[in-house]
Chains A and B, each alone.
Chain A
Amino acid sequence: MPPAPREMPDEPPPFLGTWPRVYTAVIVYLALLIALCYVFTRAFS
């Protein structure tokens, strides 16, 4: 039952070069989404 030994290297991401940059991009994206939701709420309330 134990799985065959596999190497699990932490490869670099396919874009932005490093994982911290990818994480930052995701958080910036979240901030942008919240801002858009806020604008949406204000515009139509």
Chain B
Amino acid sequence: MRPLDWIVLVGSLASIIAYGLYRGRGSNTVDRYLLAGKTMPWYAMALSIMATQASAITFISTTGQSYVDGMRFVQFYFGMPLAMVALSATAVPIFHRAKVYTAYEYLENRFDAKTRALASVIFLMQRGLSVGLTFYAPAIVLSVIFGWPDRLTTLIIGITVVLYTVTGGIRTVTWTDVQQMIVILFGLVVALVMIFVLLPRQISFLDAVHLAGFAGKLNAVTFHFNWNDRYNLWSGLIGGMFLALSYFGCDQSQVQRYLTGKSIAQSKLSLLFTAMAKIPMQFFILFIGAMVFVFYIFEPAPMVFQRIEYNRIRQPELRPRYDPIAARYQDAFERRKAQALAIVQARHAGDTRAENEAVEGYRRAQQDVDAARRQGASLVETTGGEKGFRDTNYIFLSFVTRYLPTGIVGLLIAVILAATMSSSSGEINSLATVSVVDIYKRHFRKHATDHHYLTASRVATAFWGAYAVAFAGLGKHLGSLIEAVNIVGSLFYGSLLGVFVLAFFFKRVSGTGAFAGMLAGEAAIFAAFLFTGISFLWYNVIGCLVVIATGMAVSYVSPAASATPGTAR
């Protein structure tokens, strides 16, 4: 990075944090610290929800996912609007009227203390694992750019986030999220414009889109149904809806955003706006990945994007194995480039026959490029590299740092760091809220002053920040980070969703039934994860249905247990 990049990077982040701290001043009661005194307008909540969900992983990993697998990942979000409508009609008014700090507090009103405690612990486990991954993503950025150790990068980001989250509470978190989201959207537009600027002059926008499409990168909708296929229309609509219901209805990091609303209507609007904006935004990010693919048709891309591993497999002792693969890759790359230019020429000349012939050759060359890349990854794996090695997370960053002009690099690094901070601050804030409200106050210190709980909330925020930094290194072993985060979430969300469905719609289900249902739901999800090849999107459906069935069955067998509802807070 050059001085201008540093100025853009530091200036953007410092101004965002300063603005957030300014807007968050006066968070001196628990109500203001955790719920912003219920004063937030819908647009701030909506942008905060989007910013919390859009972590650095979204930009680093989603673009790489599109480069490798095409745009079909967008289907993952098709269920979200359906979920948002359902939540606006049910969960939002229920949570608001129950005047709760956390979603799990409501479970004690409806069921009992043990159900609330189990749901809280499941949330803490799930979100605690994910928050480490959120921190790890930017550590990749700076390790690729500067060669800095991951741990140091994580520590610097972690300290910054903890400082402003501890100081200003959710109001600061929300207003920094708003600013961060604006920087993120601006940065994405700039990135796409730069890709088109950098393409060869004879390649028009439509040519680039066709080249991506011919290589299968614009497969935004696929109808083929397969239980083991992660992204198709059906898994997106059904599995994605269940995941979104779980995430936005049962995950405190999201519920807490819309609990800060001035009114039920404002909270509903924030969710519905998010539902409408999310799919176009993800489409746009994936499209950037597809265009990076087109860019690398004309510019030589490294066979392996992870620079350290790439340099390692080119060491003299590995050359006998590396050279044949590299030669195959180079040959396939040249053929693909030639065929791509032939396609463009034929398109411009209106020669359909020549175009079709070139497309055939182009696709064959693409298959060879993919095969060589797989061999390269296998070489990394079999010579001491990581098992299941994938370089998806490095593709976009390699492009940014190598080809974008000074100033823009700083802006895009700021985008990635802003996304990390917005996600992790929301996650840490919600982890602290559940720790204090659902665990500490409920089970250890029931009657203390407001100031005591405010201090406890700040201490818990600092604790979860430190925890996240400590566990950030786990990300290294999890392949595509965007998938890893969603898989971790799916291991726990189904049972959380199931218990809230029981709470909202099954009046006769008892606390014991709900508790047993959650345990059975978790067992079913882990059985599906460990012993079947079922795609993770279906775990939420499975977990939810098992919780409902078990909860109803246990309540039917032991109905007396429902006569002892607990008292919240």
Contacts and interface: CB of A to CB of B under 8 A. Distances in A.
B264 A10 contact: yes
Contact of A44 (B89, B210, B275, B569): B210
Nearest to A2: B569
Contacts of B441: 1
Contact of B96 (A5, A8, A12, A26): A8
Interface string B382-422: 00000000000000000000000000000000000000000
B99 A37 contact: no
Contact of B81 (A4, A26, A43): A26
Nearest to A15: B269
Given A1-B441, A8-B263, A44-B212, A34 B99 contact: no
Contacts of A10: 93, 264-265
Nearest to B267: A8
Interface in A12-43: 12-14, 19, 22-23, 26-27, 29-30, 33-34, 37-38, 40-41, 43
B453 interface: yes
Q: How large is the interface on B (under 10, 10 to 19, 20 to 34, 35 or more residues)?
A: 35 or more
B420 to A, nearest CB: 28
Given A1-B453, A26-B275, A19 B218 contact: no
A6 B99 contact: yes
A19 B99 contact: no
A41 B262 CA distance: 41
B542 interface: no
A30 B93 CA distance: 23
B240 to A, nearest CB: 11
Interface extent on A, as a size class?
20 to 34
Contact of A40 (B96, B214, B220): B220
Interface stretch (B1-9, B276-284, B333-341, B520-528): B276-284
Nearest to A3: B31
Contacts of B269: 13-14
Nearest to B99: A3
A33 to B, nearest CB: 5
A44 B209 contact: yes
Contact of B88 (A6, A19, A30): A19
B35 interface: yes
A5 B279 CA distance: 37
Nearest to B273: A26
Nearest to B287: A40
B345 interface: no
B503 interface: no
A14 B273 CA distance: 13
B218 A40 contact: yes
Given A1-B30, A26-B272, A11 B265 contact: yes
B88 A44 contact: no
Given A2-B569, A23-B88, A34-B233, A45 B263 contact: no
Contacts of B210: 44
A5 to B, nearest CB: 8
A45 B216 contact: yes
B460 to A, nearest CB: 14
B569 A1 contact: yes
Contacts of A1: 30-31, 441, 450, 453, 569
A4 B221 CA distance: 48
B74 A22 contact: no
Contact of B85 (A11, A13, A26): A26
Contacts of A41: 218-222
A4 B30 CA distance: 11
Contacts of A44: 209-210, 212-214, 218
B439 to A, nearest CB: 14
B450 A38 contact: no
A30 B268 CA distance: 17
Contacts of B295: none
Interface in B57-114: 74-75, 78, 81-82, 84-85, 88-89, 93, 96-97, 99, 101
Contact of B221 (A2, A5, A34): A34
Contacts of A22: 272
Given A19-B88, A26-B272, A45 B97 contact: no
Contacts of B85: 23, 26-27
Contact of A33 (B214, B279, B569): B279
Nearest to B92: A10
B97 A26 contact: no
Nearest to A31: B81
B346 to A, nearest CB: 16
B89 A8 contact: no
Listed from nearest, the 9 A-B pairs whose CB atoms lie closest are A44-B213, A11-B265, A37-B220, A30-B81, A23-B85, A38-B221, A44-B218, A8-B96, A3-B31
26 contacts: A1-B31, A2-B99, A3-B101, A8-B93, A10-B265, A12-B265, A13-B268, A13-B269, A22-B272, A23-B272, A26-B84, A30-B275, A30-B279, A33-B279, A34-B221, A34-B233, A37-B74, A37-B220, A37-B283, A41-B219, A41-B222, A44-B209, A44-B212, A44-B218, A45-B213, A45-B218
Interface of A: 1-6, 8-14, 19, 22-23, 26-27, 29-30, 33-34, 37-38, 40-41, 43-45
Given A23-B85, A37-B221, 17 more contacts: A1-B450, A2-B99, A5-B99, A8-B96, A8-B263, A13-B265, A23-B89, A26-B84, A26-B275, A30-B78, A30-B279, A34-B233, A37-B283, A41-B219, A44-B209, A44-B212, A45-B219
